[in-house]
Amino acid sequence: MAKKYPAQNFLNRELGLLEFNRRVLAQAEDASVPLLERLKYLCIVSSNLDEFFEIRVAGLKEQAKLGGLASGPDGLEATQILKRLHAPTHQIIARQYQLFNEELVPALAEQGIKFLRRTKWNEAQKEWVRDFFLREVMPVLTPIGLDPAHPFPRVLNKSLNFAVELQGKDAFGRNSAKAIVQAPRVLPRAILLPPEISGCPHGFVFLSSILHAHVGELFAGMEVLGCYQFRVTRNSDLFVDEEEMKNLRVSLQGELPQRHFGDAVRLEVADNCTPAMSDFLLQQFELKAEDLFSVKGPVNLVRLMRIPDQVERDDLKFPPFSPGMPTLLQKKGADMFKAIRKSDVLLHHPYQSFKPVIDFIQQAAADPDVVAIKQTVYRTGSDSELMEALINAARGGKEVTVVVELLARFDEEANINWAGRLEAVGAHVVYGVVGHKTHAKMLMVVRREDGKLRRYVHLGTGNYHPRTARLYTDFGMFTCNEEVCADANEVFTQLTGLGKASKLKHLWQSPFTMHSNMLLAIRNETRLAQEGKRAQIIAKMNSLLEPEIITALYEASQAGVKIDLIVRGVCALRPGVKGLSENISVRSIIGRFLEHTRIFYFRNDMAHNLYLASADWMDRNFFRRIEVCFPLLDEKLKKRVLDEGLKTYLKDNVQAWEMDCNGFWHRMTPGRGSPVCAQTELLHELGQPLAIAED
């Protein structure tokens, strides 16, 4: 039976996620952020909210159907949480559209980037739009009139649709009053017009405006009384019955297409939609009034994310940067194995390049002395040099083993495709352990040197994904330390074979030892504080939710341990509560890069123990995933991580937010002191001149 903790000591996860999105939205509100980047942040909030409804709200609705008993440490039942989410979700979305319409659109227009409204098109624009509609849009549309022979269609998750009100009879004498038009996903949601037509350097027309203007072409001889955008968000959590499943890949391939047609959880409509049509749509999707979001503008802001890429205005974007390279690897074509034999190599992304990781696998694939390569894959993208290198290695006769996590949310299809390609060239592909996602970031190369086999390992906090390595902050470490490599090999053996878990010398592993070792490290600081010694914990992660860890931190605080937590997303711990957590501070950094590093520092009576991990302090990471936490054994690298990954972030007073005991966040300001922006400082410190930028 799960241990119970006082509910008042914990904050709610879902409300915490909404607070995180408020912090991201603040970036879109910030006039000091480049204009096109502000538009991106606005789109990121929409993307985050989509997933919030698809997963978190959908899960709560499922719980509510089953009785909605409290399942989290905060003691709230599903129905209570859903009620509490209603006001803040509507507030955030209303603020998004207010910001879009009243600030961003006018500011963009001043820079020659305009969204041309249908009511203000001139004759040349009308002609261009009509031609585009007839040539590019109309051929791929399938209008569906609603009558007994044509019931309401299955509407894809998050797709753009139009509800059309009609009057009159069609060619068959039918008198249908409603029709649905689904906009194909292949069409862009904002179309760039030629400058000579738009009258500005960058003039865009929304696909919704084009359809509004010409929807009558789809219903010849009938009168269009109204045309209303709508979009439905559905439950997108995949269900695979592990007891009935015989082949995970086959089961998942059968389940993936159904993701687009899960139960509806949210309906978005344009603000011109009539109450009668809104009620009709709610009825069709079996939703309630509180699930309706009426918005002033495009119902899918996410698709506007592509606009900055279509506008060549570097002055309206973050300045370009070039990732740096560790000294050992600065020479072009540097031998990765020789460099790692000299000393452990640490990479701090995106400030330092991800290219050495690609070079490492490519060199291993081409090296005749390499006999085996093993790697875990959680997210790597649909186009990956790393995966191509593994395929080439397998083609070349090397023993290639890849642990592919097929249940990496929203990357399932890409991972299935890579698994198929790897198997086709003879690689060993395994899918980890059923019931435990493989989230560890591990890569091992076995090389024959001087008649013996030597192992080289890369361990990291982030995915093997070159694109996100330019956007996410992460650490990665190369080592050929025999004990660390032996530990990594043991984890790979567990993932691919069968047998009891062996004791590891350096690595902490979920679901076996990471949770207990974290608790021991926290409690050790508590003991030291009780003995009158200085005790300190600094931890950086994406989320903090696990109740036993939080309780141990409360106990450490009460003993006098100084605890600084840097939590990007949701935090269930209440800091600064008298008698409970007075010695705990919680901050969040929201900036140009998505903070993704997991770093755990324990002072341990001047031993200064420091660990990097793939895991957050969440139940799922400790108990339902295969994760790895590894120590920094090299004192120079330990100091680097402490300085770059923790101390610099604790000094930030530009992009930092501090959380109060009620879960509300307050943005820090430099005040009279000098402004300190951690991400900017690290770019200057670790980057390199653009003249020697990587390709």
As annotated, the active-site residues are 439
User: CB neighbours (10 Å) of residue 31?
Assistant: 8
Q: First-to-last CA distance in the chain?
A: 55
User: CB neighbours (10 Å) of residue 657?
Assistant: 21
List the structure tokens of 337. 């194995």
Could you tell me which residues come within 8 angstroms of residue 361 by beta carbon, excluding any fewer than 6 positions away?
373, 375, 386, 389, 390, 393, 443, 445
Cα distances from 465 to residues 155, 323, 337, 659, in angstroms, run 32, 15, 22, 31
List the structure tokens of 677. 């922006």
Nearest by Cα to 103 from 38, 52, 56, 47: 38
Distance of CA 34 to the CA centre of its chain: 22
d(CA 571, CA 586): 8
Assess contact for 263 and 149: CB atoms under 8 A: no
Assess contact for 540 and 599: CB atoms under 8 A: yes
d(CA 392, CA 426): 11
d(CA 219, CA 224): 8
H or E segment to which residue 610 belongs? strand 609-613
Burial degree of 689 (CB within 10 A; 0-12, 13-18, 19+) = exposed
The DSSP bridge pattern shows strands 113-115 and 202-206 to be parallel
